[in-house]
């Protein structure tokens, strides 16, 4: 009599409603991040610094970027070892979101460059911690066969949240207190459906690892980044983020000084809205297509081509005709949407231990 192996049934797939609820916090995340990092901080710094404004912007965002780069993997590693009745990730996500509020208050009342840098650092510290914990929830609860679909929903929330945040910022361009209040309200409201939809995360204890010397633990932490497919994922995300940051943080002043617009804050918000309108359909469709074809990297290559083209045109030709500038926004949006369509699905390919080590997912969430 021969034994027959019976495959374990695949976990039930998520419906659209649960996907939408689970990704809601990403809407609130980008409702804050997109306008804060591309319009609001620049205008605040320009208002208190009269010379060397781009240098001041660069220093402020570098401080925030250093925090954003170091916090997510640490939070991912800590949450792996956390055990509470409410899960591993949700307590950090909720607590860190609440601790972001004082940073928003510091920014809303800032009248000096130092206060802006301090407030921005607080927001980067705690809201990136919340985002890293959220990143750990995704591989914890989403069935493997739904990773591409979940990535499509998350990509769409990036675009919708960014668009809504930019639209609100444009309407409230000269009322800073109301802008930060809107950030806080949306951030808290979107936290609720995600916390509810993430039920069950942390219900299964992760296998304990044997104690190892500190040096060996550090080496093991960085080992996946030293080669292979996972290194490809990490460094792709690194270079994409570096490219976006190198351009996006300075567009406000570029539009003011080169294009010569009268209201750079409102124009920058409108330009990014055009980018996002072009990105949304490609973000949603790309997630579904990547599930059907089981191919992710091709979307990264296409994205890089579109975005590199736009960057080269800006750098080489310094376009000042407004229709051309908006046409470049459409092209940039297509590339932006194609990348974020698979941004969350990419780690699932080279990292089969994603469910056991969400710090690897957290590496791609920092702002």
Tens-binned pLDDT, residue by residue, of the chain (367 aa): 444 444 444 456 677 888 899 999 999 999 999 999 999 999 999 999 998 999 999 999 998 888 888 898 888 888 877 878 888 899 999 999 999 999 999 999 999 999 999 999 999 999 999 999 998 888 888 887 777 778 778 878 888 899 899 999 989 878 999 999 999 999 999 999 999 998 878 666 666 667 778 877 777 777 777 766 677 777 777 777 777 777 788 899 999 999 999 999 899 999 999 998 888 888 777 767 776 776 777 888 888 889 889 988 988 999 999 999 999 999 998 888 888 777 666 655 555 444 444 444 455 555 6
The Cα 44–Cα 116 span in angstroms is 8
In this prediction, residue 344 carries a pLDDT of 60
The Cα 123–Cα 127 span in angstroms is 6
DSSP line for 219-257:
HHHHGGGGSHHHHHHHHHHHHHHHHHHHHHTTHHHHIII
In this prediction, residue 215 carries a pLDDT of 79
Question: Each residue of 65-93: b (16+ CB within 10 Å) or e?
Answer: bebbbebbbebbbbbbebeeeebbbbbbb
In this prediction, residue 147 carries a pLDDT of 74
In this prediction, residue 173 carries a pLDDT of 77
What number of CA atoms fall less than 13 Å from residue 20's CA on the CB side?
Answer: 4
Q: Which two tokens stand for residue 116?
A: 């802006």
The Cα 155–Cα 66 span in angstroms is 24
Please say whether the beta carbons of 286 and 94 come within 8 A: no
In this prediction, residue 229 carries a pLDDT of 65
Handedness of CA 164, 169, 171, 175 (dihedral sign): positive
The Cα 234–Cα 237 span in angstroms is 5
Which domains does the chain show, CATH number per domain?
16-197+224-362 (1.20.1250.20)
Please say whether the beta carbons of 72 and 256 come within 8 A: no
Please say whether the beta carbons of 103 and 115 come within 8 A: no
Please say whether the beta carbons of 54 and 250 come within 8 A: yes
Which residues have C-beta within 8 Å of that of residue 10, sequence separation ≥ 6? 143, 144, 145
Q: Which of 263, 261, 40 is nearest to 165 (CA)?
A: 40
Q: Which two tokens stand for residue 239?
A: 């270079």
Please say whether the beta carbons of 70 and 125 come within 8 A: no
Q: Which of 311, 187, 302 is nearest to 248 (CA)?
A: 311
Q: Which two tokens stand for residue 357?
A: 């080590």
Whole-prediction pTM: 0.79
Start-end of H helices in the chain: 16-22, 24-35, 41-48, 53-80, 90-108, 113-141, 147-171, 176-197, 214-222, 228-248, 251-254, 264-293, 297-317, 322-342, 359-362
In this prediction, residue 353 carries a pLDDT of 42
């Amino acid at each position: 009599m021969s034994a027959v192996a019976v495959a374990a049934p695949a976990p039930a797939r998520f419906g659209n409603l649960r996907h939408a609820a689970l990704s809601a916090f990403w809407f609130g995340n980008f409702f804050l991040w997109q306008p804060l990092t591309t319009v609001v901080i620049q205008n605040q710094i320009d208002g208190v610094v009269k010379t060397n404004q781009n240098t001041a912007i660069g220093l402020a965002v570098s401080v925030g970027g250093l925090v954003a780069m170091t916090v997510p993997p640490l939070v991912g590693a800590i949450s792996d070892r956390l055990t509470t009745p409410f899960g591993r990730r949700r307590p950090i996500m909720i607590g860190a979101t609440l601790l972001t509020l004082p940073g928003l208050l510091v920014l809303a009342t800032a009248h000096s460059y130092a206060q802006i840098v301090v407030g921005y650092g607080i927001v980067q510290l705690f809201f990136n911690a919340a985002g890293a914990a959220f990143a750990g929830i995704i591989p914890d609860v989403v069935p493997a066969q739904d990773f591409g679909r979940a990535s499509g929903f998350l990509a769409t929330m990036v675009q919708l949240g960014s668009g809504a945040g930019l639209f609100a910022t444009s309407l409230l361009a000269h009322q800073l207190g109301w802008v930060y209040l809107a950030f806080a309200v949306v951030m808290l409201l979107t936290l609720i459906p995600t916390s509810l939809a993430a039920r069950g995360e942390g219900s299964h204890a992760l296998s304990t690892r044997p104690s190892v010397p500190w040096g060996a633990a550090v080496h093991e932490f960085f080992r996946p980044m030293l080669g292979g497919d996972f290194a490809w994922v990490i460094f792709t995300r690194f270079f994409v983020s570096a490219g976006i940051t190198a351009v996006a943080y300075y567009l406000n002043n570029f539009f003011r000084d080169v294009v010569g617009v009268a209201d750079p804050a409102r124009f920058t918000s409108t330009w990014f809205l055009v980018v996002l309108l072009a990105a949304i359909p490609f973000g949603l469709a790309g997630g579904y297509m990547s599930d059907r074809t089981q191919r992710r990297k091709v979307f990264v290559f296409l994205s890089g081509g579109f975005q590199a083209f736009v960057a080269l045109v800006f750098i080489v030709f310094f376009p000042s005709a407004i229709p051309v500038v908006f046409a470049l926004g459409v092209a940039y949006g297509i590339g932006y949407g194609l990348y974020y369509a698979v941004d969350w699905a990419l780690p699932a390919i080279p990292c089969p231990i994603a469910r056991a080590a969400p710090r690897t997912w957290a590496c791609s969430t920092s702002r």
